[in-house]
Structure 1
Amino acid sequence: MEKIVFVSGYKPQELGIFKQNHPSIAYIKKAIKHQLESLIDDGLEWIIISGQLGTELWTAEVVFDLQMEDHSELKLAVITPFLNQEKNWSESNQELYEMVLMQADFVDSITKKEYEAPWQFRVKNQFLIEKSDVLLLFYDEEKEGSPKYLYRAARDYEQNHEYNLRLITFYDLQLLVEEENQ
């Protein structure tokens, strides 16, 4: 049973998204929601994010929508790689982040200190993969970006553990757009 899902993926700037009302976000959220709904049928209880801008915060918004619809049993955990990761973000991004933290069911930080070095991201990836049953990753091998490190870590982990790596690709988004335009 897939009870804990770690969701991650591209950051907004990697997708050319610079406003929180960009039309592409609706399709990304729809793809995330579709995947989460199928996992709910398999016993999903917790969604974990590390609170990064983009895919992860959009996932939090999807979880809050699902909770209000008819999945109040769903829980959201925000487990950050280090303290105050939002420190240098824009004011609107900080507001979104604070709103997510206030509504989350669990909030913690892995390293209990502020950013020091890239090793904190590697530790976060490994920790969250090991604590979850599924990684739902918005990533397409055709367009590399920051998710490639998490993708590789999950693929390596999958070799020796029962682990489920699910991708949302640009092709999946294209299908959603086409479906809606018919």
Structure 2
Amino acid sequence: MNRIWMTGFRSFELGIMGTKDPKKVVIDFALKKVLQQLIADDADWLITGGQLGIEQWSIDAALNLEDQDQKLKVALMTPFNNFGKQWNEANQAKLSQLKAAVDYTAPVSQLDYSDPSQLKNYQRFMLEHTDQAVFFYDDSAEESKARFDYLAAKQFAVDHDYPIRLIDFDRLQDFADELEFR
């Protein structure tokens, strides 16, 4: 089994507020290409969270690939019970729609949010239940919440065979160039 943790920037960190944003078009293209490569490399599962941004977009991309007879299963894992309940109605609806569409979904903690240790436990769960990670993240974005997951994965990889693939701003520019010349 080859299970992939995919995560990265939140939509607001990239300044993407709508589906027509040119940055979102590039990211959707990049996600599709990365997922196709992972499938070619025998990935069985995409395991990600429900955060707005790369996590939700990666689920959409994987589900669209599934429509094309790809054999990638998708799990949506949240750090705690009632994740997203503070979001606006549209974002809550999108999360519910994704949960209904994936092959598996569950919270890592059965409790509602109570303290930051749940987020650390979530990181540990994701690292221990996946075989590699793909981060849409750039080191220059120190304010990104994805930074914490990336650093945890790098630390985990010191003692484990845990490949980490980084899709940084330069790589996203490569995808933008490829998309432009299609």
TM range (shorter): over 0.9
Contact 2:26 2:179 in 1 (8 A): no
Aligned residue among 92, 95, 109 for 1:94: 92
Match of 1:104 in 2: 102
* In the alignment, structure 1 residue 40 sits paired with structure 2 residue 53: no
- TM-score, normalised on structure 2? 0.94
After the TM superposition, which residues 1-182 of structure 1 pair with which residues of structure 2 at under 5 Å, given as runs?
3-71=2-70, 73-144=71-142, 145-182=144-181
Distance 2:74 2:23 in 1: 23
Contact 2:109 2:118 in 1 (8 A): yes
Distance 1:176 1:36 in 2: 13
Gap runs ≥5 in structure 1: none
- TM-score, normalised on structure 1? 0.94
Distance 1:99 1:105 in 2: 12
Distance 1:42 1:180 in 2: 22
Q: CA deviation at 1:32?
A: 1.7
Q: CA deviation at 1:18?
A: 2.1
Report the count of equivalent residues: 180
Deviates more, 1:168-177 or 1:102-111: 168-177
Distance 1:28 1:179 in 2: 12
Q: CA deviation at 1:63?
A: 0.6
Distance 2:131 2:34 in 1: 14
SS in 1 for 2:51: coil
Aligned residues: CA RMSD: 1.3
Q: CA deviation at 1:90?
A: 1.6
SS in 2 for 1:81: strand
Gap runs ≥5 in structure 2: none
Q: In structure 2, do the counterparts of structure 1 residues 179 and 42 end up closer, same or farther at CA, with 3 Å as the change threshold?
A: closer
Q: Among the aligned pairs, what percent are the same residue?
A: 32
CA offsets 1:75-127 (integer angstroms, 9 cap, x no match): 11011100111111122211211110000101111110111111111111111
